[in-house]
Structure 1
Amino acid sequence: MQKTTLPLLAGAMLLVAPSYLQAQTLETHDNENAPFVLNIRPDRPGQTVTTSMLRPGQFQVEVGTQRVLPGSGLGSTNSLGLLRVGFFNHMELRLAQSYLHLQPRPVQEGMPTAAYGLAPLTLGAKWLASTQQDARSQVVFLTELTLPKTGDQSLHLTKPLAAARALVSQQIGQRYGLEANLGFSQSGFRAADTKQGQFLYTLALNGPLGNRFGFFAEGYGTGRGTYTHGTTLGLNWRPLPGLRLDVTAGRSLGGSERTTFGGGLSMRIPH
């Protein structure tokens, strides 16, 4: 894993160096009260993980359900729960698990029923790479490990799934923001496993539509050699700065074509 992820992260840092330097040299005013910082920015429902990090003692719960409709065959429904905890030294701890809902029984007799139940558990952490949290330009690293033999037996992994991402954000004005991810994941830790690893890149724009409503739009690509590309669009409502409800729709092309619809809720305590 090191042979691939280290060059990947090094390349990511080269790509984001201008933003990183700007965060150090141009951050001359207090940005903590900007709506882009104050308003909750969850790490779901799209492919893009935000650079938003919780302060020590803060908790954030994110839950959502997504319906996946493939180009052919039956669709599936997946629900996700994510717990984020602010920790010391500019670190955030994360615990995530999804639930794959029971699909309708096959029309043809003798066909196996698709697996369903709790998916394997994922542990993760965010690490601040910039010199200042909540800066207008920010760089954060995300590391995750999905554990084998967790969740329901029919969905067990045979090997741990490790992933790492470089997260970059650039605030536009006081309310809009661009966020980008560059990541790599692989199953197992052997050198041979690295050759089967998957790359991911994303670019997202989010911002307000009035005082309490907002939008989210992203493009992404994932794969190795042959990539699946897609887009996700979403609307959200924030009745409180630390509470957000959202609805989304997405479409992926290349590889496995599919359409997705979803909705969810995110809550941060204390605000």
Structure 2
Amino acid sequence: MRKTTLLAAAALLSVPGLTLAQNTAEENNPNTDAPFVRNIRADRPGQTITAQVLQPGRVQLETGFQRQFGGAGLAQSQSAGTLRVGFFNSMELRVTQGYLHNGPTVLTEAGNVVAKGYAPVVVGTKLMLSPNYDTRTQVAILVEAAVPNTGSAGLRSSTWAPGGRLLVSEQIGERFGLEANFGFSQRGLTAKDISNGQFLGTLALNGPLTDKTGFFVEAYGGGRSNLSTGTTTGLYWRPIPQMRVDVTAGQAISGLAAGTSTVGAGLTFKVGR
């Protein structure tokens, strides 16, 4: 009897599909090692934010500098940094803060103040809607808000400034990617603030030129009654897998900023998978 039981158990375990150690859905995904999902991807440059959500335990720091000139406005320089942390439940936590090196004079409760210094801190999260981290079509939701009473005088706000975006990324081949953003943001939480909120739409294509270099090109439009449009293009270089350097140039085509040009550079580091 004992011998019969052992033979039956061995036969059962040998049947395909009934083995005790089965691959997970991620392990069965043929796209897991595609360069598009494995290479470092940044939420910069330009207006487009990638649909990629960092895996748990991964940390990514993205920094950049941009110079804006031409057009009807004052020439300005600004820096920004974003810290992204992969969390559990297909979620990514984010903190962003910018620094304006110079700006126009604005009227505040304390009198005239030059709008320069630290911008308000923006906190947010990305929530992955895709079935796994390496799928060819990636979809995520970004929710973020500028925190009230943070930043330098002339730049801070006394109320929350929320915003949200639908992020969609489509892999083309093994290395190219098409990214799209559809978003809305407002300054404040009242019905009036909603009616004055701004829409944003972007479409970007990125891909490789060599094993370590690539390109980025983007078109965007935003606003409400008066649409502002523009383009951004750039090149990036990955000297090592954990670091990416990019340079960019942009041009506002229509709207209040028409004729304004931008040039910039950025650096991205990652730690973890």
> Offset of 1:88 from its aligned partner?
0.1
> Offset of 1:131 from its aligned partner?
1.6
In 1: Cα distance, 2:104 partner to 2:96 partner? 26
Are 2:211 and 1:184 equivalent residues in the alignment?
A: no
Partner of 1:245: 245
Max Rg structure: 2
> Offset of 1:252 from its aligned partner?
0.8
In 1: Cα distance, 2:235 partner to 2:165 partner? 25
Secondary structure at the counterpart of residue 183 of structure 2:
strand
Normalising by the residue count of structure 2, what TM-score does the alignment of the two structures yield?
0.84
Secondary structure at the counterpart of residue 153 of structure 1:
coil
In 1: Cα distance, 2:238 partner to 2:227 partner? 35
In 2: Cα distance, 1:99 partner to 1:114 partner? 13
In 1: Cα distance, 2:113 partner to 2:71 partner? 19
> Offset of 1:152 from its aligned partner?
1.0
In 2: Cα distance, 1:171 partner to 1:242 partner? 21
Cα pair 1:200 1:221 within 8 Å, conserved:
yes
- Runs of 4+ aligned residues of structure 1 deviating over 2 Å after TM superposition are 27-30, 102-105
Partner of 1:260: 262
Partner of 2:209: 209
Cα pair 1:38 1:241 within 8 Å, conserved:
no
In 2: Cα distance, 1:89 partner to 1:225 partner? 38
Name the % identity.
51
> Offset of 1:158 from its aligned partner?
3.1
The unaligned stretches of length 5 or more in structure 2 are: 1-26, 106-111
Cα pair 2:113 2:154 within 8 Å, conserved:
no
In 2: Cα distance, 1:103 partner to 1:199 partner? 24
Pairwise CA RMSD: 1.8
In 2: Cα distance, 1:48 partner to 1:167 partner? 9
In 1: Cα distance, 2:88 partner to 2:241 partner? 23
Cα pair 2:52 2:138 within 8 Å, conserved:
no
Q: 1:114 to 1:254 in 2, by over 3 A?
A: farther
Cα pair 2:217 2:232 within 8 Å, conserved:
yes
Cα displacement string for residues 43-76 of structure 1 (whole angstroms, at most 9, x for unaligned residues): 0111000011111111000000000113135310
Show the 5 A alignment for 1:17-56.
29-56=29-56
> Offset of 1:103 from its aligned partner?
5.9
Partner of 1:154: 154
The unaligned stretches of length 5 or more in structure 1 are: 1-26, 106-111
